[in-house]
């Protein structure tokens, strides 16, 4: 997705935002305005330089009010932005070659010490870039190559799975295009004994319809599932643990979206209960499904103020008085990120 201004003044006219056009390599399209009853964010970040795309939440376990949001700015001269819970920029990592999606994991062992990490896909170099949290120092020795030997590479989506039984951390990576089977590759992340992270391919799995692309990937650590958006087809569910096999467990959401099903995030209300939130990008809304359902069906559709959103994340932790039941963070194509109080989202779920 890119973002460009087409006129000097922005006004909402007849249900569309007249001043802006969203585009990608294949098309230009007018962006619909948010619905009148859209959920309002608590905070909106300053605009990124190029193209806000995806984000992830890091919970500071020593002081949750000091948690951070990591967002990507997707461009050849791209960056990672680090925000506090007020949406203020606290750090910027420059010089990335089209960082696409980002995710976070806790407790990777480096030099026998547990380290929290943020991992982003760097599309133009076909690498994963890995940073130690909260200082955002690189620990990847220049990046981990992905989809090696493939004709179609271009890493896009990423989700980090922590296996409960042994705390092994895996990166599950999607790409711009790929085969009908084996579209996603899964890498085991480990320390190399020198304070850097290495990755080893452990499986290639996942069906692809061929209709558009697969960008959004999300993992449910506790239930052991990985979900991904096969755009214009639906959301696919597989086991996240490679030892449990590569069979598809569910395909849901077909027909529930105006066009593209995009960003996926999971809000947990218990060990096995909660909600799966999937962006209905062209409708400026999120579709809600029950986390515990064997074959999820649409529970609610919640309009948000973010425009044409494809990236999101959510946590249920108490992050202070503004977000006592958690925070839902969403990309907006006007080059910003929106932070929502989970209570405002929950109020729309019947």
User: Cβ neighbours of residue 113 under 8 Å, at least 6 residues apart?
Assistant: none
The CA-based diameter of the chain, rounded to the nearest angstrom, is 60
CB-based contact 57:317 (threshold 8 Å): no
Can you give the pTM of this predicted structure? Answer: 0.92
Neighbouring-strand partners of residue 276: 266, 289
> Tens of pLDDT along the chain (350 residues)?
443 333 222 333 233 343 344 444 434 456 678 999 999 999 999 999 999 999 999 999 999 999 999 999 999 999 999 999 999 999 999 999 999 999 999 999 999 999 999 999 999 999 999 999 999 999 999 999 999 999 999 999 999 999 999 999 999 999 999 999 999 999 999 999 999 999 999 999 999 999 999 999 999 999 999 999 999 999 999 999 999 999 999 999 999 999 899 999 999 999 999 999 999 999 999 999 999 999 999 999 999 999 999 999 999 999 999 999 999 999 999 999 999 999 999 999 98
217 cis-preceded (ω within 30 degrees of 0): no
Q: Which long-range contacts (CB under 8 A, 24 or more apart) does 6-14 make?
A: none
CB 198 within 8 A of CB 146: no
Q: Across-strand partners of 108?
A: 115
State the pLDDT at residue 29. 58
Residues 283, 290: contact at Cβ < 8 Å?
no
Measured CA to CA, the distance from residue 254 to residue 246 in angstroms comes to: 21
In three-state secondary structure terms, 11 is coil
Model pLDDT, residue 32: 78
Q: Which domains does the chain have, with CATH numbers?
A: 1-33 (no CATH), 34-346 (2.120.10.30)
- The per-residue pLDDT for 350 is 80
């Amino acid at each position: 997705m890119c973002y460009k201004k087409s006129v000097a003044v922005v006004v909402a006219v007849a249900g569309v935002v007249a001043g802006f056009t969203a585009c990608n390599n294949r098309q230009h399209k007018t962006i619909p305005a948010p619905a009148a009853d859209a959920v309002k964010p608590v905070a909106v970040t300053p605009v990124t330089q190029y193209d806000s795309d995806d984000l992830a939440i890091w919970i500071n376990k020593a002081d949750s009010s000091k948690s951070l949001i990591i967002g990507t700015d997707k461009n050849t001269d791209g960056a990672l932005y680090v925000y506090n819970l007020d949406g203020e920029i606290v750090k910027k990592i420059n010089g990335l070659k089209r960082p696409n999606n980002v995710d976070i994991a806790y407790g990777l062992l480096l030099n026998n010490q547990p380290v929290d990490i943020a991992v982003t896909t760097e599309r133009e170099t076909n690498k994963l870039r890995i940073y130690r949290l909260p200082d955002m120092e690189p620990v990847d020795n220049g990046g981990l190559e992905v989809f090696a030997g493939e004709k179609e590479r271009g890493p896009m989506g990423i989700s980090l799975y922590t296996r409960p039984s042994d705390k092994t951390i895996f990166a599950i990576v999607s790409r711009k295009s790929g085969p009908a089977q084996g579209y996603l590759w899964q890498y085991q992340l480990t320390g190399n004994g020198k304070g850097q992270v290495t990755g080893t391919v452990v499986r290639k799995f996942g069906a692809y319809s061929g209709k558009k692309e697969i960008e959004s990937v999300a993992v449910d650590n506790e239930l052991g599932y990985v979900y991904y958006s096969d755009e214009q087809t639906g959301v696919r569910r597989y086991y996240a643990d490679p030892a449990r096999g590569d069979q598809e467990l569910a395909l849901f959401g077909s027909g529930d979206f105006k066009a593209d099903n995009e960003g996926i995030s999971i809000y947990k209300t218990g060990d096995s209960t909660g909600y799966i939130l999937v962006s209905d990008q062209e409708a400026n809304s999120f579709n809600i499904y029950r986390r515990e359902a064997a074959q999820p069906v649409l529970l609610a559709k919640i309009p948000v103020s973010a425009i044409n959103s494809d990236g999101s994340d959510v946590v249920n932790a108490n992050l202070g008085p503004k977000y006592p039941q958690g925070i839902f963070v969403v990309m907006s194509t006007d080059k910003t990120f929106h932070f929502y109080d989970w209570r405002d989202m929950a109020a729309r779920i019947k």
